[in-house]
Structure formats: C-alpha cells, structure tokens
Amino acid sequence: MLPSRAMTGKAVGRSVPRREADAKLRGQARYVGDVTMPGMLHGATVRSQVARGRLRAIHFGPEVRWDEYVVVTAADIIAAGGVNTVALIVDHDQPALVGIGDIIAHREEPVVLLAHPDPHALEPARRAIRLEVEPLPAVLTLDDALAARTVVYGEDNVIKSYGIDKGDVDAAFAAAEVVSEGVYETGAQEQLYIENNGMIGALEGDVVTVWGSMQCPYYVQKGLMKCFGVGPERARVVQLETGGGFGGKEEYPSILGIHVALLARKAGRPVRILYDRGEDMAATTKRHPSRTRVRSAARRDGTLTALDIDFVLDGGAYATLSQVVLSRGTIHAAGPYSVANVRVRGRAMATSTPPHGAFRGFGAPQSIFALERHLDEVAHKLGLTPEALRRKNFVTKGGELATGQLVRDDIDLGALLGSALALADWERKRTDIAAERARSGAPLRRRGLGLATFLHGTGFTGSGEKYLASVVGVEGMADGRVRVLASSTEIGQGTQTVFAQIAADALGVDMADVEVATPDTRDVPNSGPTVASRTCTIVGKLVETAAHTLRARLVAAGLLPADGGGDLRAAVQRHLATLGPLRALAQYEAPPYVKWDEGAFRGDAYGAYSWGVYVAEVEVDMLTYEARVLDFVAAQEVGRVIHPVLATGQIEGGVAQGIGWALYENVVWRDGVMSNNRMTDYIMPTSEDIPPIRVLFAEAPYPYGPFGAKGIGELPMDGPAPAILNAIEDALGVSIRRIPATPEVIMDAVEGAGASNGDGAGAGAGVAGAGVAGAA
C-alpha cells in the first residue's frame, strides 16, 4: 500500500452535506421497524431466569394454542444438521439456544424462540413457558471470579490473559525514590443507541437471508454459515438503516440474525424480532467493568522510572470479544509516556452475567482512566502540578512505547497540551479558583480543574488487520458514475459521506459522480467490521487506492488524460461499451515498518496513533454532592480531518458519552442481571448536563491513511472520565478512584476523608483514596 498522494481534491477537508441526511430528515430512511414483507411473522425470545443452572425440561402451558405458533428450540438446529453455536472468535463459545441438558451460563440466555402473526400474542405465550432448571453455583462478582472457588469458565475463570514486559521493573522499584500505588474501578456502561436491536429473516430459495440493524454484516454471515452448515453463497446479510451502534451492534446481531433465520426456516415465512428497550438493555452486551491496580516508581523530580499494572476485565459468561477488548486495554495501559521499565498483566475473567462486549474505546478507556487518575495522585505526592508531571514524561517522536513500538507519528504532546490549556484558560481559572477558596474557605459549590493525556491506536491491534485482509472495490456503473463497494456500515458516523469524499478526490470528480453501495454480502467484498477507529483510516485508504487504480486503468486504455482531468462519466461508459466491466479492488497491506509478535505481545501494535489532551472544569454541590461539568476542551491530533463537521460531532458525542460514564451511568446488577434496564432508572446525561465542548484539531498527516487521516471515533471516549475525576479531586481534595462518581460515591468519599482528617475535608485538605486502600 502506497502513501497518500498530494491533497489537491475538492471534497476532502470540507464539510460537505451528509449523504444520508435528506432521507432521514424527510422520514424516508427505512429502519428495521419500518420494513414489512408479505406474510411476515413477529418473533420473541424466551430467556432463562437463573444466573446459572442446567436446563432439565421445557414445559408449554396448556392455556396457549401452540399449533398457532412457530416454536424453535436447540433441538431444531441439531435436527437440521446445523451446529448450535454463535461463531465469532472462540469455537463453540456460546450456544444459539440453550438445549435440554445444557448449562445456562447467565440469566438472559435464549432458550426458546416464538413467532406469530399477531405481535400481541407473543407475550402471553412467553409467560406460559416454564423452564425446569437445576440450580448451579454462580459467580456474580469480579472478586468471586478471581477467587475461583466456583469455576464457570475453563480451569480458573480466566477467559484470556496478556502480558507486556519492558526493561527491569523489579530493579527499578528497588531503586525508586518514590513509590505510589492505587486501585481504580470502572463500571459497566450501556450503549443506549436510539434504535434497539432488530432483525428480519427469510428464506430466498435455498438462501438464508437476514436484514437488520448492525455494524458488521460479515460477522452475521459467519454466524449463519456455522449454525446452518451452509457456504457463503447460501447466507446473505443486508444492513438496513441503523440508528446507532457504539459497539453494541458489533457481535450481538449475530445472535439475533441466527434467531430470525431459524424462525423463518421453520415458518417458511419472513420473521422479524425487534427488541423493546428493556430486553435490549438487559440481554445485550455492555462495556466491560474493570479493576486496575497501578504501582509506579518515580524520582523526586517527577521522572517515572517504572510502571507495574494489573488490568482485569469482567467478561461475563462467554468469551465473545473479550480477548480483543483486553488486548487493546492492556496495550494502552501505560499511556503516551516514555517509561523505561513497564510490566502490564491483563486478564479477562468470566462471571455469570450476560457477556460484555464492544463499546466505543474497546478496553482503552478503562486502563487509561486508571493511569491518568494515578498520575494526578503521584503529582500531588511529589508536589508537582499534573501538567508538569506529564510534560516530564511525554513520549516524543522516535521514543518507545510499552510494547517496544517506536513512535513515528509527528507528535508534540507538549505543544498539544499547551494549546489545550490555553483554550481552557487554565491559568486564569486556576488563579480564580484559588482566590475563591481563599475568600470563602469552604464554599458550597466548589470548582476544580482536571486534565488527561492519552493515545488511541488506529485499526485492529497487532496482526489483526493483516488477518482480516480487508478488501474494497470501486466499479463503473452504466450511467458513468462509480460505486464504492465495502461492507463498512453507516451507523450515524458518516461512512457514506467520507467514502464518497475520498473516492471523489482520488478520481478527480465531483461527489455527485460517486455512489456508495449498501452493505450486502451478496454485492460487496468484506472490508472488515465497522469498529476500532478503522473505517476512515484503514477502509478509507482502500477506497482511495481502489479509486486510483480504476482511474489508472482508464488512463491506460486511453480514455482519460494522464495529467488529470477528463470526463470520467464518458470514459466509464466507453469502457463498459467497448472493453467490458470496470472494477478495481484493493486489499489491505500493512505499512512496511509494522512488525508484531503476538506470542511475545511486542512490537508495532498499531500503524499509527491518535493523540489527545482533554481538560475539564467541574463544580461540586456540597449539599447534594452532585458534580457538574462546566466547561470542556478536547484537543487532539488525528492526521488529516476529512470532514470537519462530522469530525467535530464525533468528538462532541464521545465526550458526552464519557461524561455519562464518569458521573451518571450506573448499571445496577442484581443476581447476575441488570435491574435498572429502563431509561427512567438508568440515568444518562441530557443536553442540560453537557457543557460547552470546545474542539481543537491538530493535523499531522499519516502517510498510510487516506489523504493523511487517522482514526477518530473512539479517541474521545478515552479522556473525559479521568479529566473529570481529576477535576473533582482538585475541587474537593479527595481522590475518587471509581466511576461513575454518583452523588453517593462523592458523599462517601468526602465523609470518609473528613473522618480520617478529623474535619470536613475540603479543597486543599489533602488526597485520600475513595473505595480502595489509600496511596502507598
């Protein structure tokens, strides 16, 4: 893959109108709930009601006329010669349906599928089914999983583990002038996409076809192929308009796609399942809860000499995507710092809850939260400002990260930090806050400032992109326009628009000459999943390469001038008329310097990183203990910005989700299931809770991204939580080490610090840990 060519186009770098905006504004966009088919039935799922047990029997109540329903159980899969599994990464990880005699691993396991012409007839039937279950011991907490007194996965509840080793950590600690230690915890988080999960299944001849709301059509196809025992030509997946994903529609649609297809096969008619909000929140994946112990060694001047990090994720009942979430979190745990000695141990543990899965950031927000909170505590201990400690330890171009990867990005984190602090008016606000504290001693509303500095790798980790070997096509159409062929989905982030911009500028045409195909496994190649900040950088680069190749073919055929320009539509039509079909494909090739050793977990983890400095100003009400973000600055280096408005929207949306994770969104678990699975009880930030978000982009073009672009979608999830909690510590003089920092958590921390200090611990009262042992 060649570096990007000169940036001379008319579309890239401009905020052109969104491709799908008109249809959405006019109400013409068709989501799963809008689509009907002749004879279509409505489906529902009967789920287990115990955290762990063995299914002994399924009893169908006599009050229901079961001959009016389509009923599918695991026995139907086996009888048809299929495999009762949801194929993803680990073979035979979780069943499509729990069968009689099988283990129930969590309370939302699907057991029976129902379909009926009347959707209102489904709930009475669902209630009439009784599952006879032999109870088994469950593992309901991370502590229980680690203790392994009850084993629910493998030999020790460990789904996956990774390790990073750099330098001599033990020797560095032995020689350390200052040693600090803390434990930091993050909770689960629900994606809360606007549109719930939904799919439609049908048989088209001998082809199993599903349509639905999803991020990864080829994941769903893989699941169908394995479960039904068919090849790719007999398993078709089509994305419909998708109302948000954030990772929540990465792997879960494979389960739902299998379910609607099983019902459709037995019914001989199309079947739609559309979850309501309660079922969607209770049964589907969430962000992995985490616990991270960070131990650091430093000189008194602030130089970090060693990091020893133990990073643990709660994976839930099955492996699903936990190993790749763990991989990213482990690699990001040591942050954007130059530390000679690093040891990171990462583990994903199994518990008896619904599996946790992909969510924007993919493990990095959890480990970054721990490190960035820890560094503020270290700074206080050393008598340094948080920004001074970070400046002392920033990695620079040519420096080495924890995995041994050399930084090739043209990044100056010191300058980015300076820009962010200037935009935040950091020094003036710091002076004002100090004066306010001096005047009133312990004001009822206390303000504080906090920051976080971080990095986020673009694309799949390590050899992941090489394994995917993604392919993109660009083809000529009968009317002379060109069409981009990729399975990357539009889920609200702007895929269609950005691909059209890249293709138009690579071809030297207007965007009106470019169409982006609907992701349909029958028509488009596998460009990989729409995840991991890879759509623009990795897949967009393939779009650019394929477009350049197509234009080169037209030049070689004498249909376009070699020096640019020409009438592309006429050239395409002439090629189709005289030379036949016109299609160019591009397949992923790693940048030549990328070398990764999966066994040693060492080398170039990513082709490039995006870098961020986020600054938060908060206010804490000392009567209610509510924290509110007053102002937020998000500065990042992301390569070339393809579409400024879309890019700004990505940052603002990520910050808003980060604020929710930091302060509001508390998943309450009861007996292994989410008990507050309603939007009245699961509190998310509204527009009233979101402050002004000032976004700053620094552009250092990446040669192996389209027109220099790097990843942007996940980066803004990484920085808000630690910046906000650092600001709360600045306001209160109390260190809170777990999120969400709800009023109850803040109150406990303040009152605990007051008891230990003998007074009501206000700002400047010193740092005390909340919820875990204090700093060593």
Q: pLDDT tens digit string along 102-120?
A: 999 999 999 999 999 999 9
Q: What percent helix, strand, coil does the chain show, rounded to 5? A: 35, 25, 45
Query: Is 335 found in the same domain as 442?
Result: yes
Domain count, the chain: 3
Rounded CA gap, 95 and 201, in Å?
19
pLDDT for 2 beyond 80: no
Look at residue 753 in the predicted model and tell me its pLDDT: 87
Distance from chain centroid for Cα 562: 43
Please name the residue that has the structure tokens 């596998």.
526
Query: Is 114 found in the same domain as 62?
Result: yes
Residue 213, token pair as written in the block: 């709301």
| Stretch 435-449: mean pLDDT | 90
Look at residue 1 in the predicted model and tell me its pLDDT: 43
Query: Is 565 found in the same domain as 501?
Result: yes
Query: Is 667 found in the same domain as 522?
Result: no
In-domain check, residue 8: no
pLDDT for 768 beyond 50: no
769 pLDDT band (50/70/90 cuts)? Answer: very low
Look at residue 146 in the predicted model and tell me its pLDDT: 98
In-domain check, residue 594: no
pLDDT for 570 beyond 70: yes
In-domain check, residue 364: yes
596: Cβ contacts below 8 Å, ≥ 6 apart: 462, 463, 602, 603, 604, 605
442 pLDDT band (50/70/90 cuts)? Answer: confident
In-domain check, residue 5: no
Domain that residue 479 falls in: 21-30+470-587
Query: Is 640 found in the same domain as 534?
Result: no
pLDDT tens sequence across 523-548: 999 999 999 999 999 999 999 999 99
pLDDT tens sequence across 443-454: 899 999 999 999
| Stretch 130-147: mean pLDDT | 98
Query: Is 484 found in the same domain as 386?
Result: no
| Stretch 62-91: mean pLDDT | 97
pLDDT for 171 beyond 50: yes
Query: Is 534 found in the same domain as 434?
Result: no
Query: Is 333 found in the same domain as 477?
Result: no
Look at residue 761 in the predicted model and tell me its pLDDT: 37
Final residue in a domain of this structure, among 557, 587, 617 = 587
Please state whether the predicted TM-score (pTM) of the whole model is above 0.85: yes
pLDDT tens sequence across 361-419: 999 999 999 999 999 999 999 999 999 999 999 999 999 999 999 999 999 999 999 99
**Helices and strands per DSSP (H, E), number in the chain:** 21, 30
Written in H, E and C, the secondary structure of 35-100 is CCCCCCEEEEEEECCCCCEEEEEEEECCCCCHHHCEEECHHHHHHCCCCCCCCCCCCCCCCCCCCC
In-domain check, residue 512: yes
Final residue in a domain of this structure, among 283, 306, 325 = 283
pLDDT for 772 beyond 70: no
pLDDT for 759 beyond 70: no
- Residue 642, domain CATH: 3.30.365.10
Nearest to 358 by CA among 720, 714, 722, 676: 714
Residue 300 per-residue DSSP state: T
Contact call for residues 200 and 211 (beta carbons, < 8 A):
yes
765 pLDDT band (50/70/90 cuts)? Answer: very low
| Stretch 328-357: mean pLDDT | 98
Final residue in a domain of this structure, among 261, 283, 305 = 283
Rounded CA gap, 412 and 115, in Å?
58
pLDDT tens sequence across 18-38: 999 999 999 999 999 999 999
Pairing of strands 207-212, 769-770: unpaired
Query: Is 278 found in the same domain as 302?
Result: no
Look at residue 564 in the predicted model and tell me its pLDDT: 87
Look at residue 755 in the predicted model and tell me its pLDDT: 62
In-domain check, residue 153: no
Look at residue 516 in the predicted model and tell me its pLDDT: 98
Query: Is 196 found in the same domain as 89?
Result: yes
pLDDT for 679 beyond 60: yes
In-domain check, residue 95: yes
pLDDT for 724 beyond 90: yes
Query: Is 672 found in the same domain as 561?
Result: no
| Stretch 275-293: mean pLDDT | 98
pLDDT for 331 beyond 80: yes
Q: What count of other Cβ atoms lies within 10 Å of the Cβ of residue 668?
A: 13
- DSSP E strands: which ranges in 691-752? 693-698, 735-736, 738-739
Torsion angles phi and psi, residue 43, rounded to 5: -115, 160
Average pLDDT score over the chain: 95
In-domain check, residue 152: no
754 pLDDT band (50/70/90 cuts)? Answer: confident
pLDDT for 202 beyond 80: yes
pLDDT for 773 beyond 80: no
pLDDT tens sequence across 483-497: 999 999 999 999 999
Query: Is 344 found in the same domain as 296?
Result: yes
